[in-house]
Structure 1
């Protein structure tokens, strides 16, 4: 046995070095995957305090790093007409923000694990109607889709998430329900470029 080992020492050394290299490459791959996952921005959109038009729309940063909310976009399906508007700003008043800017806009930083109330569904649709200069009533809408666009990875990448809620009427009251429990993430380059143009308008 020892004679065979001595005779094949060079080959065994090469094999052991190769095996060690494979192990280190596996560790490196695991480290890189864990690092990318921990630094990936994940936006979650959900509703709280009910399922009617007064329910609050909550945006949560599920990633570890802080993101900066650039815009909140609403897509409405009302009587078969598709309409969209940016509703990032809460109030449409002139003058400097002053005081707590969060009282005037949804734009701003959102730390990892932090959540933000961007308004009730009724309020969000009212903001969209004001932005478009139209009289839009929730009773004529069949669905509302919320899209949140963020600057992530130290503002080097544009990401976001979107969720659609179907609007139905039950017992004379409007109900909002989504087929998706989780928020769909925006990862495609084409969609991100399109959103970048929309929020820049």
Structure 2
């Protein structure tokens, strides 16, 4: 055995070098994957404090970095295409007595592991209807919420969406999520579409709703 190793020392050294290289590549890949996962944003959109329209709409930051909440968009079915409007501002609290920005808008920084209360789902629906979305609260309607934020590490926006069914009528209206958690919008082309939609909404007078087939592609 020793004689064979001596005769084939170059082959053995080559195999050992290749094996060591492969092991290091595997470890490096595991490290990079873990690092990327830690740096990724993770936004949650939850219903809390009940199941009706008075339950709270909560936006949480579960990523490793603080974020700045730019907007919360609500989408419903329109006449020819889905309709989208901003619902991040608490228009129901604009009475001139609220001096702190946090009292009249949901915009602002959210630290890691923290959340912001956007308002009740009733508030969200009323804001959406105020900006031109068709009446959500009758029979069974789909409400899609899209959270848009910025980070100090990303050149582009980060976003997530979650859909809810508004079921029932009168005092028996329930808010039911269609999925267990929010869907992260990570694809570059989808974030570009969302940026264009956000810019279009911001150009509208008083935040009027916009119709676009792009909403269903997010």
TM over 0.5: yes
TM-score (norm 1): 0.87
In structure 2, C-alpha distance between the alignment counterparts of 1:37 and 1:152, rounded to whole Å: 15
- Segments of structure 1 that go 5 or more residues without pairing to the other structure are none
RMSD: 2.7
85-94 vs 103-112, greater mean Cα deviation: 85-94
In structure 2, C-alpha distance between the alignment counterparts of 1:46 and 1:115, rounded to whole Å: 10
User: 1:189 Cα deviation (Å)?
Assistant: 2.2
Partner of 2:16: 16
Partner of 2:186: 187
User: What secondary structure sits across from 2:157 in the alignment?
Assistant: strand
User: What secondary structure sits across from 2:173 in the alignment?
Assistant: strand
CA pair 189-66 structure 1, distance change in 2 beyond 3 A: same
165-174 vs 186-195, greater mean Cα deviation: 165-174
In structure 1, C-alpha distance between the alignment counterparts of 2:125 and 2:27, rounded to whole Å: 49
TM-score (norm 2): 0.81
Partner of 1:178: 177
Task: Describe the superposition over 1:47-95 as per-residue Cα deviations: whole angstroms up to 9, x where unpaired.
Answer: 0011101010111112111122111100124899843211122238599
- Segments of structure 2 that go 5 or more residues without pairing to the other structure are 203-218
In structure 2, C-alpha distance between the alignment counterparts of 1:88 and 1:174, rounded to whole Å: 22
CA pair 150-21 structure 1, distance change in 2 beyond 3 A: same
In structure 2, C-alpha distance between the alignment counterparts of 1:167 and 1:36, rounded to whole Å: 36
Count of equivalent residues: 199
